[in-house]
Amino acid sequence: MLKLSIYAILFFSLFFYSCKNEEEKRELKTNESKDTELQTSQKSNTVNPEDLLKQQPEEIETPEGMVWVSGVKFTMGASEGDPYALPREKPAHPVAVDGFFIDQTEVTNAQFKKFTAETGYVTVAERPIDWEQMKKQLPPGTPKPHDSVLQPGSLIFKKELENIANLNDYGQWWEWKTGADWKHPQGPQSDIEGKDNYPVVHIAYEDALAYASWAGRDLPTEAEWEAAAHGKLHGGIYTWGDDESKLNKEANTWQGEFPVKNIPEDGYKYAAPVKSFPPNSLNLYDMAGNVWEFTKDNFNTRYYQDALQQGELLNPKGSTTYFNEDNPYQNEKVIKGGSFLCNKSYCASYRISSRMGTSMDSGTDHLGFRTVKRVK
Domains of the chain from N-terminus onward? 6-374 (3.90.1580.10)
Backbone angles phi, psi at 192, to 5 degrees: -115, 25
User: Residue 376's pLDDT is what?
Assistant: 83
For CA atoms 253, 258, 259, 265, the dihedral sign is negative
Task: Give Cα separations from 77 to 87, 123, 268 (angstroms).
Answer: 10, 32, 29
Dihedral over Cα of 30, 31, 35, 40: its sign: negative
Classify 151 as helix, strand or coil: coil
For residue 36, name the pLDDT band (cuts at 50, 70, 90). Answer: low
- Residues in CB range of 348: below 8 A, 6 or more apart: 84, 338, 342, 354
- Between residues 160 and 100, the one the model is more confident about: 100
CA distances in angstroms from 54 to 39, 71, 245, 283, listed in the order given: 22, 4, 33, 17
Q: Mapping DSSP to helix (H, G, I), strand (E, B) and coil, where does residue 72 land?
A: strand
Write down the pLDDT at residue 37: 65
Between 329 and 118, residue with greater pLDDT: 118
Predicted confidence (pLDDT) at residue 80 exceeds the cutoff of 90: no
The answer on pLDDT for 242 being more than 60 is yes
Q: Which residue has the higher pLDDT, 39 or 206?
A: 206
**Quick one: which of 301, 288, 306, 124 has its CA closest to 206?**
124
Residues 182, 192: Cα–Cα separation, whole Å: 8
In this predicted model, what pLDDT tens digit does every residue of 195-241 receive, in sequence order?
999 999 999 999 999 999 999 999 999 999 999 999 999 889 999 99
Report the chain's C-alpha Rg in angstroms.
20
The tens digit of pLDDT for each residue in 19-33 reads 223 333 333 333 344
Burial (CB count <10 Å: 0-12, 13-18, 19+), residue 58: exposed
Element (H, E) at 298: strand 292-298
